[in-house]
Structure 1
Amino acid sequence: MLELRGLTRRYGDVLAVDEVSFTVPRGAMVGFVGGNGAGKTTTMRMVMGVLAPSAGEVLWQGRPVTAGDRARFGYMPEERGLYPKQPVLPQLTYLGQLHGMSAPAARERSRDLLERFGLGERVKDKLETLSLGNQQRAQIIASVLGDPTLLVLDEPFSGLDPSAVDQMSELLREHTARGVPVLFSSHQLELVDRLCDSIVVLHQGRVVAHGSAEQLRAGAPLRYRLTMAGDTGWVRGVPGVEVLDVDGPTAVVAPADEQVAERLLVDAVARGGVREFARVVPTLSEIYREVASV
């Protein structure tokens, strides 16, 4: 398990990361989301030891993380780390050796993954001759060489086509199935929603929400959609009900609590012609905008 406790990073007077705390349990996939400049990359660099924290600590398996632990972590940095003028297979083999693999084992594993990602015919090509999407595939392969005990991936899905996204998702699930914790950042919130066991929302360097998608939705403001045969303008006069939108037969409202919602439904049924009365389930994007505006 990876645990962050009060992780903080200052650049002079600028507080880039402010007491960030969360865990990435064994076999769990955690999505790290937030706007540009929220502090995601800085946090991930502190996890990997690229940056030293100004305060707080990173724990691995319940103890302070060591250089030896980090040598077994798989990392995809924001600024991709492969060499553009070097052939793909030799540099992947070299990176595998840095993770403790023998040269033959690293070469075989690299070939297998290159084949899997549709790059089996490009093993001798220089990285710079590949498309940006294929370069991203090669970088993903580099991060999973050497049987990593943890994966820390900064925007791993950026630039990938739908097929490659599916391949990447399958690869990550294979690692979590073996108990590997995975932390990845992404601006693709619908993908985070679909893949992740839990989500950490960072805003201006602070964690403003943390939990599963279901937990985040459960904590969202109470909203209902009411649709009737006739006009719903009458909801404006109901005590305890904030009217968010009225459009003829449909109204979207924010009742003060569930009891107010129940009374609203009773009033609607008494008027006749109720077609729908349903909780409005927010998307992850809507939840993000809500918590990031607080």
Structure 2
Amino acid sequence: MLELRGITRSFGERRVLDDVSFTVASGRMTGFVGGNGAGKTTTMRIILGVLAADGGEVTRDGSPLSPRDRARIGYMPEERGLYPKMKVAEQLVYLGRLHGLSASDAKAEVGTLLERLGLGERANDLLESLSLGNQQRAQIAAALVHRPIALVLDEPFSGLDPLAVEVVMGVLRDYAAQGLPVLFSSHQLDIVERLCDDIVVIGGGRILAAGSRESLRREHSGLSYELELATTVENTNENRTDPVDAGWARDMPGITVTELNGGRVRFDAESEAAAQAVLARAVQGESRSTVVQRFARVTPTLAEIFREVVQ
């Protein structure tokens, strides 16, 4: 487990991190999200020791991170840092050797990684000959080659096509399943929502929200509901349901309709009782043929939670 406690950092007069505290649990994927300049990259560099914090500490399993610990963390910076004139496998083996792997172990590890990341056929190509997406996969391999004790990845999905995203997601899940703490930043909130167990939102150098994906959804769900109505049509030829107009919900007390499309209405309620009154009215129906197809509390997406907490 990696834990940040009270991390602060200033550049001149500007404080870029202010009491940043959160945990990256072992065996769990933690998404680190925030706008440009929010403090994500600075935080990651402090974890790795690339930058020093002005205050606070970073620990691993309760003990301060040592230089040896930091050297064993798999780090992928947002800026690509591999050598464009070297062959892909050659430089990955070189990086593995720098981290203390034997030549045979480094070659075996590189071969396995390149196959898992879909680069097996490009092992002997110069890095600069690869597409940007494949260069990104090679950069990810560089973060994994030395069998790390934790992963800290800055925008690992940048430039990847949908197929490559799925491949990389699968690889990262495998590393988390082995018990590694995995922290990655991304502007692609849909990927973070699909992949992560835990989410940390940072803005203006401060932690705005942190917790498991489901706990954040519950915390920010509010009293928002969706109702879908239809009319059952029966005749000798077919049985079907047609949408009806749910516009009457706008006149219900304590209800604010946020979206209306025929028989589907999304609304915010001032209380649980007000929401249940809408359901009761729907069940009663305008006629016996009106049926409730769906009534559910709306779970917010990560994008909606993000917009709420950064305002």
User: Structure 2-normalised TM-score?
Assistant: 0.87
Residue 222 of structure 1 corresponds to 223
1:112 Cα deviation after fit: 2.5
Shift of 1:274: 5.0
In 2, distance between residues paired with 1:30 and 1:68? 23
Q: CA deviation at 1:231?
A: 4.2
Following superposition, the deviation at residue 247 of structure 1 comes to 4.6
The Cα shift of 1:147 comes to 1.2
Q: Deviations over 1:114-150 (max 9, x none)?
A: 2333333333332112111111111111100121000
Structure 1 residues 123-272: aligned runs within 5 Å: 123-219=123-219, 220-228=221-229, 231-272=245-286
Equivalent-residue separation in structure 1 for 2:93 and 2:251 (angstroms): 70
> Is 69-78 or 232-241 further displaced after alignment?
232-241
Distance 1:74 1:31 in 2: 16
Task: Write the deviation string for residues 140-186 of structure 1: whole angstroms up to 9, x where unpaired.
Answer: 11100121000001111111223322221221122112111100111
Root mean square deviation of aligned Cα: 2.0
What secondary structure is seen at the aligned counterpart in 2 of 1:224? Answer: strand
Counterpart-to-counterpart distance in 1, 2:265 and 2:90: 62
Task: Kindly indicate whether the alpha-carbon contact (under 8 Å) linking 2:229 and 2:291 is maintained by their aligned counterparts in 1.
Answer: yes
Stretches of structure 1 that go unaligned for 5 or more consecutive residues are: none
Q: Distance in 2 between matches of 1:46 and 1:132?
A: 27
Cα 1:41–1:274 shift into 2, 3 Å: same
Determine the structure 1 residue equivalent to 2:234.
none
Match for residue 279 of structure 1? 297
Separation in 1 of the partners of 2:113 and 2:42?
29
**Alpha carbons of 1:122 and 1:243: their partners in 2 closer, same or farther (altered >3 Å)?**
closer
Counterpart in the other structure of 1:6:
6
Question: Does the CA-based 8 Å contact 2:199-2:213 persist in structure 1?
Answer: yes
For residues 44-95 of structure 1, what are the alpha-carbon distances to aligned partners after superposition, in whole Å with 9 as ceiling and x for unaligned? 1111111111222111110111101111110001112211122222221121
Q: 1:271 to 1:5 in 2, by over 3 A?
A: same
**In 1, Cα distance between the equivalents of 2:75 and 2:246?**
54
Task: Give the share of equivalent positions with the same residue, in percent.
Answer: 57
- Normalised by the size of structure 1, how large is the TM-score? 0.92
Distance 2:46 2:54 in 1: 10
Task: Measure, in 2, the Cα distance between the counterparts of 1:128 and 1:247.
Answer: 51
2:260 and 2:191 map into 1 onto residues whose CA distance is 32
Answer with 83-92 or 237-246: which moved more.
Answer: 237-246
Shift of 1:25: 1.0
1:233 to partner: Cα distance: 3.8
SS in 2 for 1:158: coil
**Secondary structure of 1:121's match?**
helix
**SS of residue matched to 1:38:** coil
Aligned-partner Cα distance in 2 for 1:101–1:257: 61
Q: Distance in 2 between matches of 1:243 and 1:87?
A: 59
**Partner SS state of residue 118, structure 1:** coil
Q: 1:86 to 1:265 in 2, by over 3 A?
A: same
- The answer (yes or no) to whether the contact 2:4–2:23 under 8 Å persists in 1 is yes
Q: Which amino acid aligns with 2:138?
A: A
Q: Which residue identity is paired with 1:149?
A: I
Q: Where does structure 2 lack aligned partners over 5 or more consecutive residues?
A: 231-243
Quote the Cα distance in structure 1 between the aligned partners of 2:214 and 2:162: 25
Give the number of aligned pairs: 293
Distance 1:120 1:251 in 2: 51
Task: Give the aligned residue type for 2:227.
Answer: L
- CA distance in structure 2 between the aligned counterparts of 1:42 and 1:52, rounded to whole angstroms: 10
Alpha-carbon contact 2:113-2:145 (below 8 Å) kept:
no
Counterpart position of 1:79: 79
CA 1:263/1:89 → structure 2, altered by over 3 Å: closer, same or farther? same
Asked if 1:288 corresponds to 2:297, the answer is no
Distance 1:141-1:223 versus aligned 2 partners, 3 A rule: same
